[in-house]
């Protein structure tokens, strides 16, 4: 039996963070500019991602606040904190819309090409609304079930890939043929911010789900990031040894393409539908987490009921997802060039770092004033 801790078990924490990280990262072409070295960059960023989740939770523990919106007001004052808090709400909604667009495009292009994108987005939106309205305890339990299914499908996928035997490990060579220098820019702009930097979404509610943010919570979180990074690394290696770096670089959904190539005895073929189902489960988790992070901010600033905000804000997100880009190629280009530099880096790294400095300075000033008063 799993021993409960603050209402949620370490296993639940592990699975929710794991599926969140897999989300769109396992779907799209992660680090396409790095070619055969994409798996190395992902493995390297996995360990940085473990530091990031520790850092984000440390920010909550060090300030004794339950979410980042309260931390912002503590560090930047009521007006400044509220302005930056609204920016974070907008950020969570925008990234949620981009993720929703990713999976709507997947279903439209790979599964139901005759169905308009609008209908696919609407179906996905209804699913997200239903999950969010179930309540936190219920949707966390649902995500645990998703995690079991995802793990089972991924193991079956790996077994079939190995059984198929059409693998060329020469596609991985030479390892870092051009050295580490050319890898660094793409590593930090195409892998670190996405998906590991997106863990900042958990700062919007982690202190409410896991009030003490104890050592067991931290260990479960760190192990989850490690496991998710390893799965992403293995996935990229499978894609590379299946059809090589040049084809992977051009593929819109390389994992789906790799699963489509599996053929065992002309009997087990076209398993991409099972893989897409697993990806869809992770997609629901990621979109729900971002939507929940945004809704918690709106509830904090407006004082309105959480349930009353779900439908309008999720519908707004769906509308944004439809107009966020003209087509999938434009969507990916913006996601690889504009979003990491001008959106991810400031909100995932710069603001939390500045916030921690301000809070430390205010704490020292307060202690100095207290000593002076005495």
Q: Would you give the distance in Å from CA 244 to the centre of its chain? A: 26
Q: Examine residue 5 and state whether it is found in any structural domain, yes or no.
A: no
Is pLDDT above 60 for 373?
Answer: no
Give pTM, 2 decimals: 0.92
Cβ–Cβ under 8 Å, residues 340 and 189:
yes
The rounded percent of the chain whose pLDDT value lies above 90 is 43
- HEC string of 34-47 equals HHHHHHHHHHHHHH
Query: What pLDDT does 95 receive?
Result: 95
Q: What is the mean pLDDT of residues 186-195?
A: 85
Name which of 303, 300, 299, 326 is nearest 313 in CA terms: 299
Q: What is the DSSP letter of 110?
A: I
Name which of 96, 151, 161 is nearest 129 in CA terms: 96
Cβ neighbours, 10 Å, residue 173: 8
Q: Which domain holds residue 285?
A: 10-373
Q: Examine residue 301 and state whether it is found in any structural domain, yes or no.
A: yes
3-state secondary structure of 268: strand
- What distance in Å separates the CA atoms of residue 90 and residue 93, rounded to the nearest whole number? 5
- Element spanning 269, H or E: strand 268-269
Sign of the torsion angle spanned by Cα atoms 214, 218, 219, 224: positive
Query: What pLDDT does 165 receive?
Result: 72
Cβ–Cβ under 8 Å, residues 340 and 193:
yes
Query: What pLDDT does 281 receive?
Result: 92
For the segment 217-247, what is each residue's pLDDT rounded down to a tens digit? 889 999 999 999 999 999 999 999 988 888 8
Mean pLDDT estimate for the chain: 86
For the segment 272-327, what is each residue's pLDDT rounded down to a tens digit? 889 999 999 999 999 999 999 999 999 999 999 999 999 999 999 999 998 888 88
Q: Which is more confidently placed, 239 or 359?
A: 239
Q: Examine residue 1 and state whether it is found in any structural domain, yes or no.
A: no
Query: What pLDDT does 7 receive?
Result: 56
Which of 89-93, 115-119, 152-156, 246-250 has the lowest average pLDDT?
246-250
Q: Examine residue 151 and state whether it is found in any structural domain, yes or no.
A: yes
DSSP output for 166-193: ---GGGG-STTTT-STTHHHHHIIIIIT
Helix axes 38-63, 351-373, angle to 10 degrees: 30
Is pLDDT above 60 for 371?
Answer: no
> What are 266's two structure tokens?
């002309």
Q: Examine residue 2 and state whether it is found in any structural domain, yes or no.
A: no
Q: Which is more confidently placed, 321 or 176?
A: 321
Which of 158-172, 174-188, 282-296, 359-373 has the lowest average pLDDT?
359-373
Give the domain CATH number at 266: 1.20.1740.10
Q: Which is more confidently placed, 165 or 230?
A: 230
Q: Examine residue 3 and state whether it is found in any structural domain, yes or no.
A: no
Q: What share of the chain is helix, strand, coil (3-state, %, to 5)?
A: 80, 0, 20
Query: What pLDDT does 246 receive?
Result: 83
Q: What is the mean pLDDT of residues 150-179?
A: 85
Q: Examine residue 346 and state whether it is found in any structural domain, yes or no.
A: yes
Q: What is the mean pLDDT of residues 252-269?
A: 81
- What distance in Å separates the CA atoms of residue 255 and residue 29, rounded to the nearest whole number? 8
Domain total of the chain: 1
> What are 70's two structure tokens?
């309260």
């Amino acid at each position: 039996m799993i021993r409960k801790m603050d209402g949620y078990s370490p296993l639940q924490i592990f699975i929710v963070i794991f599926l969140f990280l897999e989300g769109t990262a396992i779907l799209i072409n992660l680090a396409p500019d790095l070619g055969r070295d994409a798996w190395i960059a992902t493995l390297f960023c996995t360990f940085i991602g473990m530091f990031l989740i520790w850092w984000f939770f440390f920010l909550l523990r060090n300030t004794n606040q339950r979410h980042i919106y309260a931390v912002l007001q503590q560090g930047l004052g009521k007006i400044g904190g509220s302005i930056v808090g609204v920016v974070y709400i907008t950020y969570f909604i925008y990234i949620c819309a981009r993720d929703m667009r990713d999976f709507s495009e997947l279903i439209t292009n790979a599964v139901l090409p005759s169905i308009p994108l609008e209908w696919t987005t609407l179906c996905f939106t209804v699913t997200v609304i239903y999950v969010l309205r179930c309540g936190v305890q219920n949707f966390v339990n649902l995500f645990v079930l998703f995690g079991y299914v995802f793990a089972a499908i991924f193991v079956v996928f790996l077994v079939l890939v190995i059984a198929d035997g059409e693998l060329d490990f020469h596609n991985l060579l030479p390892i870092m043929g051009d050295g580490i220098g050319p890898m660094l820019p793409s590593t930090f702009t195409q892998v670190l911010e996405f998906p590991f930097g997106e863990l900042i979404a958990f700062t919007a509610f982690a202190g409410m789900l896991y009030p003490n943010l104890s050592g067991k919570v931290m260990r479960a979180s760190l192990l989850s990031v490690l496991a998710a990074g390893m799965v992403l690394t293995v996935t990229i290696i499978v894609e590379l040894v299946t059809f090589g770096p040049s084809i992977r670089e051009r593929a819109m959904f390389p994992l789906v393409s790799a699963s489509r190539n599996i053929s065992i005895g002309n009997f087990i073929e076209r398993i991409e539908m099972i893989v897409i189902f697993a990806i869809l489960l992770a997609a629901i988790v990621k979109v729900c987490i971002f939507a929940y992070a945004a809704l918690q901010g709106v509830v904090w600033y407006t004082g309105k009921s959480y349930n009353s905000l779900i439908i309008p804000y999720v519908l707004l997100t769906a509308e944004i997802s439809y107009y966020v880009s003209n087509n999938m190629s434009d969507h990916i280009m913006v996601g690889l060039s504009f979003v990491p530099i001008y959106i991810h880096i400031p909100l995932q790294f710069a603001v939390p770092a500045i916030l921690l400095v301000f809070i430390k300075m205010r704490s020292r000033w307060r202690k100095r004033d207290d000593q002076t008063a005495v």
